[in-house]
Amino acid sequence: MAFINLSPVSVTANALSKDNGRVGNGHRILGSIGGVMDESMTTKVAGREVAILAGGCFWCLEAVFEQTEGVDSVESGYIGGARANPTYQQVCTGATGHAEAVRVVFDPAEVPYRDLLGIFFATHDPTTLNRQGNDSGTQYRSAIFPTSPEQRATAQALMAEVEAQQVFPGPIVTSIEDAEPFYRAEAYHDQYYQRNPDQGYCRFVIDPKVAKFRKQFSARLKASVR
């Protein structure tokens, strides 16, 4: 793969933070029911693979991958922490160790895992440790959770290639972590961008990421959203 304009979308210093209470109605919906462990992440589905990626707010990644050709489904959730069935509020404190992540079911015949990673690196900043824009904390870390040895090898090779080409202005801090239990996020996170297009965070943070994806990866758009 040739890496053309993989630099992440820039976010201004005054960009809204997801958790600072300034993004308008919607982002502080209190859910008492925690995430539910999804055993299906390890289930083999004929002709399909599962990718689990963390790159800041899961609303952003969901909005991008929902429009990606070859993707069957995108689920938001929590992974990489110590607490079972964490709630959104618990994860937002950073104390549980979980990352906000998406679980992507995809057809590798239509969109190879390597290409999904290319989209992933282009639509978030893999050079900022535990931060995306004004969203800070380990829950917003950049991380890849391979679900097979082949995925791990692909991620390692791709990261080494990107570093060698000096695609980004700084070193990549994306971690490659074991695919631990994935806990589905509360239902109100599902299709958040689609359901809240005028919400402040969606307009000022997610819109530019989606716009860049649609422009740079136009050949990877689902026919239904072209």
CATH of the domain at 187: 3.30.1060.10
- The tally of domains found in the chain comes to 1
The answer to whether position 140 is within a domain reads yes
Task: Give yes or no: 92 in active site.
Answer: no
Catalytic residue among 57, 60, 92, 202: 57
pLDDT above 50: residue 144: yes
Domain contains 167: yes
Instruction: Pick the more confident residue, 25 or 91.
Output: 91
Q: What is the crossing angle of helices 58-65 and 113-122, to 10°?
A: 130
Structure tokens given for 24 = 């308008």
Tell me, what's the pLDDT at 6?
56
The pairing of strands 142-145 and 175-176 is parallel
Backbone angles phi, psi at 184, to 5 degrees: -60, 135
Please write the tens of the pLDDT for every residue from 157-196.
Answer: 999 999 999 999 999 999 999 998 999 999 999 999 999 9
DSSP H or E run through 89 = helix 88-92
What is the pLDDT, as a whole number, of residue 176? Answer: 98
Domain contains 25? no
- Would 120 be classed as within a structural domain? yes
Better pLDDT: 9 or 106: 106
Q: Residue 158 and residue 108: Cα distance in Å, rounded?
A: 16
What confidence tier does 19 reach under pLDDT thresholds 50, 70, 90?
low
Q: Closest Cα partner for 65 from 26, 115, 125, 18?
A: 115
Coil, strand or helix at 215: helix
Which H or E run contains 121? helix 113-122
| Rounded Cα gap, residues 161 and 7, in angstroms | 14
pLDDT at residue 44, rounded to an integer: 60
Ramachandran area for residue 147 (φ above 0: left; ψ -120 to 50: alpha; else beta)? alpha
Residue 198 scores a pLDDT above 80: yes
pLDDT on residue 15: 46
For residue 100, what are the β-bridge partners? 78
Evaluate whether residue 62 is within a structural domain.
Answer: yes
> Which residues span the domain enclosing 82?
36-213
- What is this structure's pTM? 0.86
Inform me whether the pLDDT recorded for 24 exceeds 70: no
Per-residue pLDDT of 33-85, as tens digits, reads 466 666 545 456 789 999 999 999 999 999 999 999 999 999 999 999 999 99
Q: Is residue 83 part of a domain?
A: yes
Is residue 21 assigned to a domain?
A: no
Contact between 192 and 74 (Cβ < 8 Å):
no
Confidence of residue 29 (pLDDT cuts 50, 70, 90): very low
Tokens coding 106: 């995809």
Query: What confidence tens digit (pLDDT) does each residue in 89-143 have?
Result: 999 999 999 999 999 999 999 999 999 999 999 999 999 999 999 999 999 999 9
* CA neighbor of 97 nearest in space, from 70, 71, 55, 130: 130
Nearest CA to 116 among 35, 51, 184?
A: 51
Query: What does the mean pLDDT of the chain come to?
Result: 87
pLDDT of 45: 73
Q: What is the mean pLDDT of residues 9-23?
A: 46
Tokens of 3: 């890496």
Rounded (10°) angle between helices 207-216 and 58-65: 30
pLDDT at 46: 82
Q: Is the pLDDT of residue 11 over 70?
A: no
Q: What is the mean pLDDT of residues 4-18?
A: 48
**Residue 117: inside a domain:** yes
Instruction: Answer whether 78's CB lies under 8 Å from 223's CB.
Output: no
For the record, the structure tokens of 80 come out as 């990489």
